[in-house]
């Protein structure tokens, strides 16, 4: 049995979390949940955005599965997601995007993994606002160490998964220093991991164009925080949308698994959300915990369900509710 901290989040979070918990239970996955929420929900009920109980639980279990949490725009409170990523140095945000049989998209044969640096860059929290002068500064901070950590993580992952090609996406033509640090870090990592035989670089704007015209050419992509945030939603769009792409925030001694998408307030509470993205994040978690058999069993039932459009949720063109889709997966276990 593995103890895992479960954070349902808000918006569609509770609905998709329930789906994952039910599927794991039906599959007898060896997970025991410790539920601790955060966000507006706990601010209202306990007076805290991140209750101490969540920190204590994560520090005990070292593994979390997390639903999305709303961050109000311009209200002055820091994103809970960023707080957790920085506090526990979860410096890798790993986001796979793969074509799935049964999901209709303009592309076939996409199989890429994005490594987004998760604690630095424009998310470093270095914001200065001068009301009198009317100037808003948001500083991007990269460190040599941070760049090397994410570069090494991407090359190590590629090596361990038999992937031969790593691409760095950057904007070194304009942001000279940041670009140089990432390029140097990747070149060092490439020398350290010779089994990755093909390393190349793309300037971020061209990268976007290439991704939407010939995404099959990419394998492992490594990039800084904001570029990675944007590219991962772009990649989601290539393989079926935000309802299907998983993610993981990984550090050297803790990992929190969560979907790429947010709290989807436009469909929250309506039974429309697709739990696939969070379920796939849960499968990444099972693999991280060494529970590959459980993961494979659930994966098989999920894949079989996704091939029937009639059993899928509305984002995939199907008629099923979150609960019905969940039941179709459980029936196939
Ligand atoms: P979003 O990702 O929540 O939604 C974008 C669009 O995708 C919406 O039309 C939504 O209905 C759809 N969508 C997302 N997930 C879906 C699912 N599982 N099934 C079906 N459709 C799905 O992005 P948005 O609306 O920009 O952000 C909403 C809130 O979420 C914001 O407060 C943002 O800060 C927060 N957020 C939180 C994240 C996290 O907790 N890790 C990540 C991204 C955003
Ligand atoms: Mg995002």
Instruction: Check whether residue 215 and residue 111 sit in a common domain.
Output: yes
3-state secondary structure of 168: strand
**66 CA to centre of own chain:** 10
Which of 239, 258, 293 is the last residue in one of the domains?
A: 239
What is the span of the domain harbouring residue 170? 106-239
Q: Are 263 and 216 contained in the same domain?
A: no
Ligand 1 proximity of 274 Cβ (cutoff 6 Å) = yes
Q: What are the residues facing 4 on neighbouring strands?
A: 33
Here the tokens at position 49 are 């955005």
Same domain, 200 and 320: no
Q: How far is the CA of 229 from the centre of ligand 2 (A)?
A: 5
Task: For residue 101, tell me if it sits in a domain.
Answer: no
- Please check whether residue 288 is in contact with residue 256, taking contact to mean a CB–CB distance below 8 angstroms: no
Residues 330 and 247 in one domain: yes
What is the interface pTM, i.e. ipTM, of the complex? 0.99
Asked if residue 171 is part of any domain, the answer here is yes
The verdict on whether 229 is a catalytic residue reads: yes
Pairing state between β 2-7 and 63-66: parallel
In this structure, are residues 58 and 256 in contact, taking their beta carbons and an 8 Å threshold?
Answer: yes
Taking the centre of ligand 1 as the mean of its atom positions, its distance from the CA of residue 11, in whole angstroms, is 9
Residue at a domain's end among 192, 223, 239: 239
If you measure from the C-alpha of residue 331 to the centroid of ligand 2, how many angstroms do you get, rounded to a whole number?
32
Active-site annotation holds for 123: yes
Q: How many domains does the chain have?
A: 2
Q: Which domain CATH number covers 67?
A: 3.40.718.10
Token code pair at residue 195: 């089994």
DSSP assigned state of 265: T
Domain termination residue (choose one: 239, 263, 283): 239
CB-CB contact of 208 with 67 (8 Å): no
Residues of the chain with pLDDT under 50: none
Domain identity same for 48 and 154: no
Reported as a single tens digit per residue, the pLDDT across 140-163 is 999 999 999 999 999 999 999 999
Whether the CB-CB separation of 4 and 31 falls below 8 Å is answered with: yes
Q: Is residue 220 part of a domain?
A: yes
Helices (H) and strands (E) in the chain, counts: 11, 12
* Cβ within 8 Å of residue 162, ≥6 positions away: none
| Tokens encoding 83 | 């707080």
pTM: 0.97
- pLDDT for 226-276, tens place per residue? 999 999 999 999 999 999 999 999 999 999 999 999 999 999 999 999 999
């Amino acid at each position: 049995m593995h103890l895992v901290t479960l954070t349902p989040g808000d918006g569609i979070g509770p609905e998709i979390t329930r789906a994952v918990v039910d599927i794991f239970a039906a599959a007898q996955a060896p997970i025991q949940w410790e539920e601790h929420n955060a966000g507006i929900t706990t601010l209202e009920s306990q007076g805290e955005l991140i209750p101490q109980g969540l920190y204590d639980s994560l520090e005990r279990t070292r593994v979390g599965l997390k639903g999305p949490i709303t961050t109000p725009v311009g209200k002055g409170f820091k994103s809970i997601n960023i707080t957790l990523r920085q506090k526990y140095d979860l410096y890798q945000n790993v986001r796979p995007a793969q074509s799935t049989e049964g999901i209709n998209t303009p592309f076939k044969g996409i199989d890429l993994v994005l490594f987004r640096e998760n604690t630095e860059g424009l998310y470093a929290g270095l914001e200065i606002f001068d009301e009198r002068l009317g100037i808003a500064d948001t500083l991007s901070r990269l460190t040599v160490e941070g760049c090397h950590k994410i570069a090494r993580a991407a090359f190590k992952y590629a090596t361990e998964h038999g992937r031969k090609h790593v691409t760095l996406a950057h904007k070194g033509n304009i942001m000279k220093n940041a670009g140089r640090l990432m390029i140097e870090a990747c070149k060092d990592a490439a020398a350290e991991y010779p089994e990755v035989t093909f390393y190349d670089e793309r300037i971020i704007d061209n990268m976007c164009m290439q991704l939407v015209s010939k995404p099959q050419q990419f394998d492992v992509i490594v990039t800084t925080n904001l570029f990675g945030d944007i590219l991962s939603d772009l990649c989601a769009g290539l393989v079926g949308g935000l309802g299907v792409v998983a993610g993981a925030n990984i550090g050297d001694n803790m990992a929190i698994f969560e979907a790429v998408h947010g709290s989807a307030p436009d469909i929250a509470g309506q039974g429309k959300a697709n739990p696939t993205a969070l379920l796939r994040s849960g499968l990444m978690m099972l693999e991280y915990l060494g529970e590959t058999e459980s993961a494979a069993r659930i994966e098989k039932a999920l894949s079989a369900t996704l091939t029937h459009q009639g059993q899928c949720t509305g984002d995939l063109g199907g008629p099923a509710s979150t609960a019905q889709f969940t039941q179709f997966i459980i029936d196939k276990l």
